[in-house]
Amino acid sequence: MDLNKPLAYRLRPTTLDEYVGQEHILGKDKILYRTIKADRLSSIILFGPPGCGKTSLARVISETTKYKFYKLNATTAGVSDIKNVIEETKNFMLNPTGKSILFIDEIHRFNKLQQDTLLPYVENGTIILIGATTENPYFEVNKALISRSMVFKLNPLSEDDIYKVLKLSLEKEEGLKEYNVKISDDTLKKIANVSNGDVRTALNGLEIAVLTTEISKDGYIYITNEIAAESMQNRKAIFDKNGNTHYDNISAFIKSMRGSDVDAAVFYLARALNGGEDPMFLARRIVIAASEDVGMANPNALVIATSAMQAVSMVGMPEARIILSEAAVYVTKSPKSNASYLAINKALEDVENKDTGDIPMHIRNAPAEGMKNLGYGKGYLYPHDFPGHVVEQQYLPNKMLGTKYYIEDENCKNIK
């Protein structure tokens, strides 16, 4: 083992028994575990955040399979690289099995042409594809490839899993054993906690701490909480404003406002801002929530949200965070009604799918001379001429008479 390689690289597992985490797909009774053990793997797509073990799992497969194993990185590989793998796979002298496993890291970075090149060979079994991606493959990977593969989601590693890997790194020859490190379990757990599920971040932090700390007189390297904190990045945010976490976080933000959980709404707002989300995007979502979810239960919420959006555009960050928080809190704490939202959806459905009839003649306009003689506007009752400025007359077309779109609920009955 080349000790000049990063610690995270040196500690990559070579067998399933060495692999830590992802019990939901790699438990001994799970299909992925069984197929790897039996070397009966079909094409798979692995997706999850950085440092959760996608590449490590591919390495385990490379060490356990009888098939020739190839690795490409989509950030540097092209169609010619794929074709070279296919040519070697089909060459009986080089590969008697006529089949190979191709691991493509960051597969979402392949364009449509590159992904399409794989299709016939994945379909006929020449290539067993292992695609790894940090993005949701249902958005980023060719649907035809998805349909020919099993998709597995890898989760961020738990603190216990990362702590376990950190302990192993101190005990293994290819790890940090030769450095005689003294570090408490409490400090290791702090490193695991700050890494937010990314084992690579945790190992890099520990390695930096060890390599930059002087050996004491008794021959040991002592790593304290303070040294560990200086060697780690700030808490790693699991957020990508252009990726899958963007959609997950904004969904959680909207649902928290809708569900009137003010602390959750502020939390997801903070998470978005910390991840670099566009403040105006967040302001627009608050405006939409004010109309869709608060609606007629508190029409003032839309006024507040719209004013906040305008203020955010004028003020900008970092002060815009205060405006967004105020608007989000107001919308979250407001009574809720989606009566207006349901009304317009139902009306649009009728307009798109039904013969809704003609507008009654008495409420049509008569802008040109002679139109009144044809019945336009004839018999119209001007509401302001009547007590309370309301008068009973037909407004819906004959075919739609009796249709109810806006149905008041308890929260908006006092709004007339």
pLDDT single digits (tens) 245-270: 778 889 999 999 999 999 999 999 99
State the total domains in the chain: 4
Cα–Cα distances (Å) from 269 to 93, 292, 320, in that order, read 59, 19, 12
What percent of the chain has a predicted confidence (pLDDT) above 90?
Answer: 45
Short-list 268, 243, 410, CA closest to 329: 268
Report yes or no on whether pTM surpasses 0.85: no
Q: What is the CATH number of the domain that holds 136?
A: 3.40.50.300
User: 235 Cβ partners below 8 Å, 6+ apart?
Assistant: 194, 196
- The per-residue pLDDT for range 128-174, each reduced to its tens digit, is 999 999 888 888 888 888 988 999 999 888 999 999 999 999 999 88
Task: List the domain range (segments joined by +) for residue 205.
Answer: 159-231
- The per-residue pLDDT for range 267-286, each reduced to its tens digit, is 999 999 988 889 999 999 99
Give yes or no for residue 416 having a pLDDT over 60: no
Q: Domain end: 231, 258, 276, which one?
A: 231
- The per-residue pLDDT for range 308-323, each reduced to its tens digit, is 999 999 998 889 999 9
Q: Domain end: 180, 205, 231, which one?
A: 231
Short-list 1, 16, 127, CA closest to 64: 16
| 224 backbone φψ class: left, alpha, beta (φ>0; ψ -120 to 50) | beta
Average pLDDT over residues 215-237: 82
CA count, 13 A, side-chain hemisphere, 263:
0
User: 80 Cβ partners below 8 Å, 6+ apart?
Assistant: none
Distance CA 162, CA 202 (A): 7
Based on the fold, state whether residues 360 and 310 are members of the same structural domain: no
The pLDDT confidence band at residue 375, using thresholds 50, 70 and 90, is confident
Give yes or no for residue 45 having a pLDDT over 90: yes
Short-list 97, 91, 100, 52, CA closest to 72: 100
| 295 backbone φψ class: left, alpha, beta (φ>0; ψ -120 to 50) | left
The separation between CA 82 and the C-alpha centre of its own chain, rounded to angstroms, equals: 29
Q: What is the CATH number of the domain that holds 261?
A: 1.20.272.10
* Amino acid residing at 34: R
Residue 382, domain member (yes or no): yes
